[in-house]
Structure 1
């Protein structure tokens, strides 16, 4: 009888612990970010684009439930800092962001930054040629250490890259800077007749990041292992090829 009581007590404890574990496990991974085709695309059929296609394959393998929310970049970082969102894809690494973001070992394909001007504008061959000219930048985004730290540059923040290009076309600002693929896509869509300057600012590595305040931070190693497996079995390469990219080493 005593043994039976002990077994029942042990079973009750195990069931209680299992219940607590289920309650502690978050139900949905909350992914936030701005719409930046072809990297992050929000459509009726769901979130897609290069970054989100990679993420969708990873969560499919992991069996995680995921939700995607389109929010402005600056707002997305604030949600991550406050623990109201769990994951972002594409941020560059900066010391101030590392205070509230955990940078995983998952490095996404980098993208050079291009500069768009009116056809009659002076050429842009280096950062030195940007001095004294107004430059539209996307609010909340970073473009690399050299560009971000250059105190000579006159930056004007805008809410999206389309607005930046339109401001250049109307003569309200001199230059718009954008990731090359996104800028070229917008240029074709808008037909604004702007010139992409031949000099490009080399892109720095973008990352998959988790909020330090998120309960999903405990699952970071699982996520990293899944992306490693995707590289090893070719899934990573196949997704990149859909966007005209080649997988690195």
Structure 2
């Protein structure tokens, strides 16, 4: 049996190690890790302490990651306000389900993927609003911390609606329960979840049958921090998200 010189064997081993390192380096470069900052938000996704997030939006984000060539990492359960701050600082990469605003556009790339139901009208079950004209001179509660479209504000102004700015949804729903206001404009899923956890409110408050006309600006967006070290992936993420939208894999209200 032919014996190779010891130095030659060492040289071969070194070359093999270098080759492995190069291959692993290319593999890592081909799959950068992006963090999705999220909180528990059923029914889109559930995220309880000590558990992995699950739900239709998690499935969408994982598929988007595979098709875009990055590894998806989940943040710990984090409130939305904290996630926005981390996005602004470039300390996290992605958020999902955000409304567009000029301020947010300054530090995030916002990619639309689904119609939003962020301005759904809730009413007392005994006082439904049949159409746009019935809004005239009513009192509608809006939550201070939420973003409302110019279209909705214009409609309410045209109908001479008195807009009551309140601190949070809980306060708005309590006011509606006691008929101190006529309607609340709020996000469908979040408000329905609030009502589910409060049987007293759920017994008196319903989604109004008539809703204001749907508008283009009422869309949910995938957000990529402009300060992210992987922001250069935005083109392939955008292209792959468009494919998911075309395949109707991003619609969570149907």
Q: TM-score, normalised by structure 1?
A: 0.67
Conserved in 2, the CA contact under 8 Å of 1:127 and 1:147? no
> 1:89, CA displacement in angstroms?
0.9
Return closer, same or farther for 1:37/1:102 CA change in 2, 3 Å cut-off. same
CA distance in 2 between counterparts of 1:148 and 1:34 reads: 29
Partner of 1:219: 233
Question: CA separation in 1, counterparts of 2:185 and 2:41?
Answer: 14
| Structure-1 separation of matches of 2:38 and 2:128 | 34
The answer for unaligned runs of 5 or more in structure 1 is: 1-11
* TM-score, length of structure 2 as denominator length: 0.66
Structure 1 residue 213, shift from structure 2 partner: 1.0
Map of 1:182-221 to 2, 5 A cutoff?
182-191=190-199, 192=201, 193=203, 194-201=205-212, 202=214, 204-221=218-235
Q: What is the count of residue pairs matched by the alignment?
A: 222
Counterpart secondary structure, 1:153: strand
Describe the SS at the equivalent of 2:53: strand
Q: Which segment drifts farther, 83-92 or 37-46?
A: 37-46
CA distance in 1, matches of 2:174, 2:80: 20
> Separation in 2 of the partners of 1:229 and 1:119?
41
* Cα distance in 1 between the residues matched to 2:79 and 2:140: 22
1:156-205 per-residue CA deviation (whole Å, 9 max, x = no partner) reads 132xx566535533567654332334434543453321132223232612
Give the CA deviation at 1:65.
Answer: 3.4
Q: CA deviation at 1:210?
A: 0.7
Partner of 2:15: none
